[in-house]
């Protein structure tokens, strides 16, 4: 059984990561003095050890396969120092995510105005077809209790691409997506991306990292995304989308499809665009349009 130590500092996301790794079958230890109450109870119930990384001469450290650094890590953190002195493998969260997904079909989503809405649609369509998949998100996934689900046997991994931009940002480009879905660009000044140009360069690098014969699904109404699509490698297929066609009938809004009309309760342009992005992504995973539209019977 592989063993991992997570330096959590009481961070809620790291708590979720610890639980997901334990559910996958890892032996997990987790530090963080701020972990109390219900979260601490869950960790104990799942047999996750609440303890700091032990000193260099502690025999437990020799059994640790890797250490996960906190989202807001600092180089002088005592546990990171101990891990380095002990020669342990230290991974950032993006590096860990890539390790978990390296042998899977990777879909990376950039959906900044409505985080993970496209991912949510794809996830529901896959589940409706009994197709297992992993998923990793920092933001909430609409309709899902968990933000992280990891397994050994799922062949597909859904990844939130615009999370962790301040945590080793170039690590995101190591995701090397087989399918990259981008609905928009939404920049605000940060320590890592102080200018809009650096933010665009980051996504340019992500597009360039798409695996050979991969797909770039993008919102054709966004000029910058069209510019990225116009410069993709010859082996990458750029797949544009526009808002899904609708029909207004009295007080109802319905999607116009070749299988008939599908009622929806949301109908703004961004939502209709997200539907088409998810539909196109599902096509490349083996879920046809008719099967995709079936998700609207239960979620919208």
What pLDDT, on the 0 to 100 scale, is given for residue 17? 92
Decide if 3-91 and 101-299 have a common fold: no
Is the pLDDT at 82 greater than 90? The verdict is no
Q: Evaluate whether the domain defined by 3-91 bears CATH number 3.40.50.720.
A: yes
More confident residue, 169 or 280: 280
Strand ranges inside 100-214, DSSP E: 105-110, 134-136, 148-149, 156-160, 179-182
| Cβ–Cβ < 8 Å for 125, 278 | yes
Nearest CA-CA partner of 192 in 161, 165, 164: 165
Q: Would you say 65 and 28 are in contact if contact means Cβ atoms under 8 Å apart? A: no
Encoded tokens for 211: 């695996």
Q: 55 and 82 in contact (C-beta within 8 Å)?
A: yes
The domain locations on the chain are 3-91, 101-299
**Mean pLDDT within 187-216:** 89
**For position 164, what pLDDT does the model report?**
65
Please give the pLDDT value at position 9: 65
Domain 101-299 has CATH 3.30.420.40: no
Burial of 198 (0-12, 13-18, 19+ CB in 10 A): middle
Give the pLDDT score at 166.
56
Percent of the chain exceeding pLDDT 70 equals 90
Q: Which contiguous run of DSSP H or E holds residue 248?
A: strand 246-249
Query: Quick one: what percent of the chain has pLDDT higher than 90?
Result: 54
The lowest-confidence range among 182-196, 219-233, 237-251 is 182-196
Q: How far apart are CA 156 and CA 125, in angstroms?
A: 13
Rounded CA separation 65/19 (Å): 17
Q: Mean pLDDT over residues 46-67, rounded?
A: 74
Higher-scoring residue by pLDDT: 144, 165: 144
- When pLDDT is cut at 50, 70 and 90, the band that residue 299 belongs to is very low
Phi-psi sector, 87: left (phi>0), alpha (psi -120 to 50), beta: left
Of 46, 40, 94, 44, the closest CA to residue 71 belongs to 94
Q: What confidence tier does 61 reach under pLDDT thresholds 50, 70, 90?
A: low
Instruction: Supply the pLDDT for residue 55.
Output: 58
Give mean pLDDT, residues 27-42. 79
């Amino acid at each position: 059984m592989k063993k991992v130590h997570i330096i959590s500092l009481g961070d809620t996301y790291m708590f979720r990561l610890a639980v997901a790794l334990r559910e996958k079958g890892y032996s997990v230890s987790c530090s963080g003095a701020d972990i109390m109450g219900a979260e601490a109870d869950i960790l104990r119930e799942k047999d996750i050890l609440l303890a700091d990384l032990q000193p260099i001469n502690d025999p437990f450290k020799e059994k640790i396969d890797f250490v996960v650094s906190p989202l807001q890590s600092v180089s002088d953190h005592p546990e990171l120092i101990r891990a380095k002195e002990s020669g342990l493998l230290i991974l950032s969260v993006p590096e860990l995510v890539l390790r978990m997904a390296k042998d899977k079909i990777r879909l990376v989503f950039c959906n900044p105005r409505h985080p993970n809405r496209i991912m949510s649609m794809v996830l529901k369509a896959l589940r409706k077809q009994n197709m297992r998949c992993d998923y990793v998100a920092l933001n909430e996934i609409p309709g899902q209790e968990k933000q992280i689900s990891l397994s050994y046997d799922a062949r597909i991994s859904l990844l939130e691409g615009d999370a962790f931009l301040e945590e080793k940002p170039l690590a995101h480009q190591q995701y090397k997506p087989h399918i990259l879905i981008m609905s928009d660009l939404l920049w605000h000044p940060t320590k890592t991306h102080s200018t809009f140009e650096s933010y665009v360069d980051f996504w340019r690098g992500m597009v360039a990292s798409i695996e050979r014969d991969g797909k770039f699904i993008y919102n054709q109404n966004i000029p910058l995304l069209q510019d990225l699509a116009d410069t993709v490698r010859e082996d990458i297929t750029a797949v544009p989308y526009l808002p899904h066609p609708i029909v207004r009938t009295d007080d109802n809004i319905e999607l116009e499809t070749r299988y008939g009309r599908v009622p929806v309760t949301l109908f703004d342009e961004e939502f209709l665009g997200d539907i088409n992005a998810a539909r196109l992504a599902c096509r490349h995973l083996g879920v046809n349009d008719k099967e995709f539209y079936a998700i609207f019977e239960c979620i919208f």
